[in-house]
Amino acid sequence: MLLRVGIDDTDSKENMCTTYVGAVAIERLKAHNIVAQNHPKLIRLNPNWKLKTRGNCAVAFTVKVQNHQVPLVKETVLKTVEELAELHVETTNPGVVFCQGEKIPTKLKVFSKKVVQDIVTIEEAEALAREIGAEAHKFKLGRGIIGALAAIGNTLERDWTFELIAYRTPENRGTPRKVDAASVAEMDAKTYPNTFDNLDPSTGEIRITPHTPCPILYGIRGESPERVREANELVRALEPIEHTIIYKTNQGTDEHLKKVKIAEAKPYWSIIADGAVCLAPRIITGGHVIFRIRDETGEIDCAAYEPTRQFREVVKKLIVGDRVRAYGGIKEKLELPLTINLEKLAILKLAPALRKENPKCPSCGKRMKSEGKNKGYSCKRCKIKAPAGSAKVVRLKREIDLGKFEVPPRARRHLARPLIREVHVKFPTREF
């Protein structure tokens, strides 16, 4: 039979990583000659949920077993979670789900999509588990059964990427990571765009190494297992690697986004919304840039925060009347309008930028001064006057063009699809 295993919420903001717990469980099962089918899955969940830890990921894998092996699989996975999860941290509430069957139930697929795009309660998860005959195990509050079910139910049918993760040995965790920067730059030069987000091109910052005390040394994202393996051969680690694993994942796919009208937008959602700029960009404390868009249903603010760096320069050049498509997440906010934290921005139509120019003095050639509303113009120097209708409206050249723009890798969410993937990926099964 096929036995599907889902694991979530084993980490904390200080330590551990759910991908590591999954990798260890898979290795321990392999020691019993129980091998995971295909690639295990790393599924990023709703990035706006307030209780998430860092990347908010859950993992799942499938094993093919005989009936008598099922208890061993369950015992091995549950003991691994109990041993490695950050159970002493109040906000860590792991969940493990076991689900038997050749096919993933349609209701579980629907549930999985909701967990990536919306908010789901633990009561909903428990009810679904009972309905489909899944076995859910809760540690402490057990909130992780939500993500564990979602990871099993996400079939990655529309789009997917892969990530090769290299883990540190225990004695090095919590210390600065040691990876040769030049080798990462060489890897990026030789494998991009088949791998992506290895470096931030604007700063040269290495993006494959996390900045937390978790067990991950580095993670390489790419379009296929072959590509991430090739890239890994080029990276020179300056410390021992415990082991590596390749996950199939929804990272870089925009799976979290839903297309909505502005009035439909809700906190904790990630949306795509079209609208016209109705309030020009303004810079607020901290260097953040805010503007507002409107459609026939309402208005919403859009924000390009300081970490998005050069992306803000595009935003600053918008004017009232420009038509745009905004992509991004919405955080909880007590008062309206809500704010889209921009991940990408498409400029669909540019409004004309007009400037009124006073007439020139026919004698000295300098611009004449207005004498007041509907009172015409005069040159104080030459004492020459001009009628009120003599000013001209000039159309200015815009400093931006139509197109799609994105935040740099340093500010990109795990789920956000880099623009290079929209150009580069040609697989017919992947819809864009």
* Beta-bridge partner residues of 404: 346
Length of the chain: 432
- The overall pTM is greater than 0.85: yes
Instruction: Report mean pLDDT in 10-residue bins for the chain, 432 residues.
Output: 97 89 98 96 94 83 97 98 95 96 96 97 97 98 97 96 97 94 97 96 92 93 97 98 98 97 96 98 94 97 92 96 97 81 97 93 93 92 92 92 95 95 66 39
Alpha carbons 93 and 71: distance in angstroms, whole number? 23
CA neighbor of 422 nearest in space, from 405, 401, 409, 399: 405
**What is the C-alpha to C-alpha distance for residues 235 and 217, in angstroms, rounded to an integer?**
11
Tokens of 39: 């690639």
Nearest Cα to Cα of residue 90 among 13, 172, 197: 13
Tokens of 397: 């050249």
What is the β-pairing status of strands 339-349 and 298-304? parallel
Is 146 strand, coil or helix? helix
Which pLDDT belongs to residue 431? 43
**Backbone angle region of 66, left / alpha / beta, with phi > 0 → left and psi within -120 to 50 → alpha:** beta
